[in-house]
Structure 1
Amino acid sequence: MEPTQLLSLLARSLAKVDTDRPLAMRLCEACVDILRAQGGALTVSAVPGERLAVSTPGAFEQLEPLQEVLGEGPVHQAMSEDRLVVMHVDGVTDDYPVFSQLAGTVGGQVMLYAVPMRAGGRVVGVFSLYVTADPQDRSSEDLQFLADAVGASLLGDADSLDWSERAQIHQATGMVTAQLRVPPEDALAVLRAHAFARSTSLLSVALDVLERRLTFSLDESQDDTIDRTEDP
């Protein structure tokens, strides 16, 4: 499809979405509508090392948080390698064995497209598309053009993105760093491990830490890490 046609479709689809909703979510839903998919997500990384994800509601909205918790998946690969990644979620793959095993239980069989969003000569995020219906005419060129158009739009309006969730995860990481006297990357790994064990999001665990429902301490006599969960 010609770029002008895709931009026209994007504009018309955006016009149907509630303008009171955040721009990232509106763009995500518009792309899903244009490409006749069953779900989608945008993972934005306007600042290196920081990521913010929004997903359309439905069966597949847990797949983006799952990749963040595990630290593996098509989104990570598309962002790090700057290329389109296509994954058929129907069995375990060697590239991301844990994610592929769990993804099928979360969303069932689905074709997952992870497309790097480029703006200003660099990758600023990933557009994910979830497809379960009969194949449509979704060329890699169309996917890449839409992803780049969305990336440029979000980068140009970065102030509209809500980074408060990332701030809460940062604060919780700092608290665990102080409690266990470990580097921040180790503290974040501890939070991810708890999220994985509890089948929840990284943000949910971070909020438990911030609200003192989950605390950590170091028993120096046994050189062991102990966590304590308290009822609110």
Structure 2
Amino acid sequence: MDASKLLGLLAGTLAHLDADMPLASRLCRACVEIVGAQSGALTVTTPSGERMVVSTSGGVSEQIEDLQEVLGEGPGQLALDEARVVVTRIDGDTASTFPVFSQMVSSVSGPATVYAVPMRVGQRVVGVLSLYVTTDGLARDLEDLQFLADAVGTSLLGDLESLDWSDRARIHQATGMVTAQLKIPPPDALAVLRAHAFARSSTLQDVADEVLARRMAFTHDDITVDENERTEDS
């Protein structure tokens, strides 16, 4: 579709959404509607490498994004790392590019296709537009998806300061605590948190909150976890 028509379609779709919704939520829902997906998500990143999901449109998108966060892999992460569109069929196939991710997502959503599109502003990738499709395909081609993603990225770039980064801050704080407890580099500490979230079928944020509340402490004893549920009397 012609770029001006796509922008008009985006503007018209946004106009019909609740103006009180955050901009990221309206943009996410508009993209899902325009391309005929079942759900979607927007992830943004900063020059320092901070990455955060700023909106999901419902459906299984939030669960899928949580899985990518815990596993540290998935189509969204690959699209961000390589600045290219990544299309992945989710059907539990162990031969998939992301076998663990594919198996876990298929148990949540059933067969689906994930389109992860980098949002580019100039030469910089500012995030990823992820779309989840359970039907035969999308109403727009990949060129239209890329144009929409870039338009959304440009819109969000001026809105970054208004986004709530508190969840990411808590994960950083928890990573710092694990770094101090185990005396390991921050990337390794984050990997420990992710592994524990995976083992508990939990989210990375939930595990971080447990660490910050001091209900969970990591030791060097075979890198085991000592969970001390504290009571008000302790």
Report TM bin, short chain. Answer: over 0.9
Q: For residue 10 of structure 2, what is the aligned residue in structure 1?
A: 10
Give aligned pairs, total: 228
C-alpha offsets along residues 42-67 of structure 1, whole Å, 9 cap, x if unaligned?
Answer: 11112332101132222232111111
> For residue 200 of structure 1, what is the aligned residue in structure 2?
202
Whole-angstrom distance in 2 between the partners of 1:4 and 1:202: 40
CA contact (8 A) 2:36 2:139 kept: no
Query: TM-score under structure 2 normalisation?
Result: 0.92
User: SS of 2:224's equivalent?
Assistant: strand
Shift of 1:175: 0.8
After superposition, the C-alpha distances for 1:54-93 in whole angstroms (9 at most, x for unaligned) are 3222223211111121111111211122111111111233
RMSD of aligned Cα (Å) = 1.5
- Once residues 208 and 31 of structure 1 are traced to their aligned partners in structure 2, the CA distance between those partners, rounded to angstroms, is 35
Q: In structure 1, what is the equivalent of residue 122 of structure 2?
A: 120
Partner of 1:177: 179
Structure 2's unaligned 5+ residue stretches are none
Q: Is the 8 A contact 2:41 2:61 kept in 1?
A: no
State the match for 2:75 in structure 1: 74
Moved more, 205-214 or 56-65: 56-65
Residue identity matched to 1:24:
A
The answer to whether the Cα contact below 8 Å between 2:41 and 2:57 also exists between their aligned partners in 1 is yes
Which residue is 1:83 aligned to?
84
- The one-letter code matched in structure 1 to 2:10 is L
Shift of residue 94 of structure 1? 4.1
CA shift for structure 1 position 192: 0.3
Percent pairwise identity: 60
Q: In 1, distance between residues paired with 2:116 and 2:225?
A: 36
1:16 Cα deviation after fit = 2.4
CA distance in 2, matches of 1:201, 1:173: 14
Q: Distance in 2 between matches of 1:49 and 1:108?
A: 32
Distance 1:100 1:204, change over 3 A: same
The offset of 1:178, in angstroms, is 1.0
Matched position secondary structure for 1:41 = strand
Q: For the residues of structure 2 that align with 1:67 and 1:206, how far apart are their CA atoms?
A: 16
SS at match of 2:59: coil
**What SS does the corresponding residue of 2:219 show, helix, strand or coil?**
strand
1:113-158 Cα deviation digits (max 9, x unpaired): 0111101311111111111124343211100000000011111221
Q: List gaps (5 residues or longer) in structure 1.
A: none
After TM superposition, the score normalised by the length of structure 1 is: 0.92
Secondary structure in 2 aligned to 1:218? coil
Summarize the alignment of residues 1-232 of structure 1 with structure 2, pairs less than 5 Å apart.
1-53=1-53, 54-90=55-91, 91-219=93-221, 224-231=222-229
**For the Cα contact (< 8 Å) 2:34–2:139, is it kept in 1?**
no
User: Which portions of structure 1, spanning 4 or more consecutive aligned residues, are displaced by more than 6 angstroms?
Assistant: none
- Equivalent position amino acid for 1:117 in 2: M
Displacement of 1:8 in angstroms is: 1.3
